[in-house]
Copies of this chain bind each other. A is one copy, B any other.
Amino acid sequence: MRSSPHKTDGERIVIAHGGGGELTQRLIAERFLPKLGNPLLNPLTDSAVLPVEAGRVALTTDAFVVQPLEFPGGDIGRLAVCGTVNDLAVMGAVPEALTLALVIEEGLCTDLLDRIVDSIARAAGEAGVVIAAGDTKVVERQRGDGLTITTAGIGRMREDVRLGMDRISPGDAVMVSGRIAEHGLAVMSAREGLAFETELRSDVAPLSGLVGSLFEAGAEVKFLRDPTRGGLAGVLADLAEQTGLSVEVEERAIPISAAGRHAAELLGLDPLTVANEGKVVCVADGSEVEGILKILHGHPLGRHAACVGRMLASQPALVELVTTTGGRRIVPRPYGEELPRIC
């Protein structure tokens, strides 16, 4: 499908590709529509028009500035689709459509752009969403950073699902759907040029299927969140702050691969604070843990799911880690400097 007979525009993106004229039209017609096209996008009208049933829709957005643009296990395109899909899924919504806005730095290789668009198309297919609308702008060299992507997404809220921090009580269990820190560590390793014996790959994946399997099985989930920027520590800090309860976490229960642990040590990072892009934190009544873990373990993205802690009424509301050696330490909210440009 990717016929590109016009090579007069060269192999790199130029400013005029973002000008809204003939070159923009050709970029869309030749490089985007053959891969991303669908009945909502194809008319290229000012807005896509979607039929909706009465109910509630979820709406979200994320900007992606990851460097490098391609990293083991993914790229900025896959990340931009999954990040927004996951923000919809953890709200209890079925993701339906995304918008896609590209800000390209002049000089970007069209081969790289093509790979990223391929990746967007694949990830959207995995997640069961369509790209309904888009925009492309180009900035001069040194005024951008290759490519930044912003996606927004809408999803239909599941009728029978009610999620929220307000449902959380003392004694509730905190689970995580798999091995933590793999996205951030893979990106940081690629950036630092580190090679590990075992290849560490980003976990970037759409969670709509995994989360859907919980709801479809009728699991009594109280709260879901994907631990992206700020990592698991960030979500735990939110839980403590917003519920007024403490969170006690067992370090030995937290799933992490040997490669991940090794990479975190080499990079001097606390894996608790490192971003994930294909994991979900799940809070439920203690009596639900067995059932929920069974569902998660049955899904390819949840094989390493584990219960890592519980909510406690103890004051003040803090996140406390019981270390592998039996010690205890307070886990603070990440400040935000540890891992720039990770998503």
Name A residues whose Cβ lies closer than 8 Å to a Cβ of B: 15-25, 45-65, 86-88, 90-91, 93, 97, 99-103, 132-140, 142-145, 148, 150, 152-155, 157, 225-226, 228-230, 234, 275, 333-341
Contacts and interface: CB of A to CB of B under 8 A. Distances in A.
Nearest to A54: B54
B228 A20 contact: yes
A101 B63 CA distance: 6
B336 A18 contact: yes
A277 B228 CA distance: 36
A234 B21 contact: yes
Contacts of A52: 52, 54-57
Given A20-B229, A65-B103, A135-B150, 12 more contacts: A21-B336, A22-B335, A46-B90, A47-B60, A47-B155, A49-B56, A51-B56, A52-B54, A59-B99, A59-B132, A63-B101, A144-B144
A337 B60 contact: no
Nearest to A17: B336
Contacts of A133: 59-61, 152
A107 to B, nearest CB: 14
Q: How many copies does the complex hold?
A: 2
A86 to B, nearest CB: 8
A63 B103 contact: yes
A19 B229 contact: yes
* Closest A-B pairs by Cβ, 6 of them: A20-B229, A19-B336, A21-B336, A152-B152, A61-B99, A150-B150
A140 B64 CA distance: 14
A52 B157 CA distance: 11
Contacts of A56: 49-52
A52 B87 CA distance: 19
Contacts of A61: 99-101, 133-135, 150, 152
A137 to B, nearest CB: 5
Contact of A49 (B15, B48, B91, B230): B91
B50 A57 contact: yes
Contacts of A16: 335-337, 340
A155 B333 CA distance: 37
Nearest to A228: B20
A334 B19 contact: yes
A1 to B, nearest CB: 22
A24 B238 CA distance: 13
A340 B63 CA distance: 22
Which among A47, A103, A338, A339 has the greatest number of chain B C-beta atoms within 10 A?
Answer: A47
Contacts of A225: 46
